[in-house]
Amino acid sequence: MSKRMQDKVTIITGGASGIGEGMVRRFCAEGARVLLADVDTAAGEAVAAATGAHFVALDVSDPASWDALAERVRADYGRLDALLNNAGIVSGLDIEQVDLAAWDRLLSVNLTGVMLGCKMAIALMRDNARGSGGAIINTASTTSFLAIPDVAYTTSKAAVVGLTKSVAVHCATQGLNIRVNSLHPGATLTNILRTALAANPEIEPNLQRMSPMGRLGTVEEVAAMALFLASDEASFCTGGQYVVDGGTVVEHPRM
């Protein structure tokens, strides 16, 4: 590895599993000092032990949880270089099934959690020694552009685009040198999906066909985009939507 994140203090939420775990592995390999922040303590500690990351318990929907993390980062690291707002949940509920509690729960994680993370990160990044600066990457989805029946999920991922653009414009116009971008994976082969496929192999062809490239993405491919956006190579990239989907969102429906 090229150590593109050498010594950069990086928080990765939802790093205990799936895409976030792939991000933790790649950022650690690239020399970052990674804080793996997740509600799943057992899985998070296991990934941290395997990668050299530091596990911190964090519920992204809880402002007090972010305050505690900010205090720890200030005390233990004295700076923050990158935040990957990656934690996310699905509800599986369409507009006829969803109730207010399920709607609020999902939005509190997938949308409010991202907003709280941005606030916390900017407060720390403003105070970085040698000047304000950093990168925030918000994991959205191709569902930001193409709807699925899960109404709260679709809404949350579309809203993350607007949130990201607003925060990016604020940071740029304030001269903070904090870049903020959204990352849009298509269907990605995670361990959870592997388990689902093993139980229901008949759904695999449909998943493969979602992309004109005829396959699912890998967590490594998504992590590579996050790495670019967090690195100094992306120095003129802010407010953008970075799709990693094998062409899913650009294909005209097939004949």
The window from 26-34, 116-124, 187-195, 229-237 that contacts ligand NAD (CB under 6 A) reads: 187-195
Answer for the pair 81, 8: CB distance below 8 angstroms, yes or no. Answer: yes
Options 29, 31, 40, 177; binder of ligand NAD; rule CB under 6 A: 40
249's CB contacts (< 8 A; 6+ apart) are 142, 145, 146, 184, 186, 243
Options 8, 9, 14, 182; binder of ligand NAD; rule CB under 6 A: 14
Query: With respect to ligand NAD, which residue has the nearer C-beta, 55 or 178?
Result: 55
Residue 153 annotated in active site: yes
72's CB contacts (< 8 A; 6+ apart) are 35, 56
Answer for the pair 104, 98: CB distance below 8 angstroms, yes or no. Answer: no
Options 5, 25, 27, 88; binder of ligand NAD; rule CB under 6 A: 88
The one catalytic residue in 153, 223, 238, 248 is: 153
Query: With respect to ligand NAD, which residue has the nearer C-beta, 134 or 185?
Result: 185
Burial 144-163, CB ≥16 within 10 A → b, else e: bbeeeebbbbbbbbbbbbeb
Supply 161's token pair.
């685009």
- By rule CB under 6 A, what count of residues binds ligand NAD? 26
Residues of span 204-243 touching ligand NAD by CB under 6 A: none
Query: With respect to ligand NAD, which residue has the nearer C-beta, 176 or 245?
Result: 245
Query: With respect to ligand NAD, which residue has the nearer C-beta, 45 or 59?
Result: 59
Options 51, 188, 238, 248; binder of ligand NAD; rule CB under 6 A: 188
Smallest separation (angstroms) from ligand NAD to the CB of 87: 3
Options 16, 32, 210, 234; binder of ligand NAD; rule CB under 6 A: 16
Options 23, 25, 38, 242; binder of ligand NAD; rule CB under 6 A: 38
Picking from 57, 10, 55, 56, the residue whose alpha carbon sits closest to that of residue 29 is 10
The window from 11-19, 68-76, 202-210, 224-232 that contacts ligand NAD (CB under 6 A) reads: 11-19
- Per-residue binder mask for ligand NAD (CB under 6 A), 48-87, x = binder: ----------xxxx------------------------xx
Burial 43-72, CB ≥16 within 10 A → b, else e: bbbebbeebebbbbebbbbbeebbeebbee
Rule CB under 6 A: is residue 185 a binding residue for ligand NAD?
A: yes
Q: Give the integer Cα–Cα distance in Å for 114 and 111.
A: 5
CA 145 to chain centre: 17
Write out the residues near ligand NAD by the rule CB under 6 A.
Answer: 13-14, 16-20, 38-40, 58-61, 86-89, 109, 139, 141, 185, 187-188, 190, 192
| Residues involved in catalysis | 153
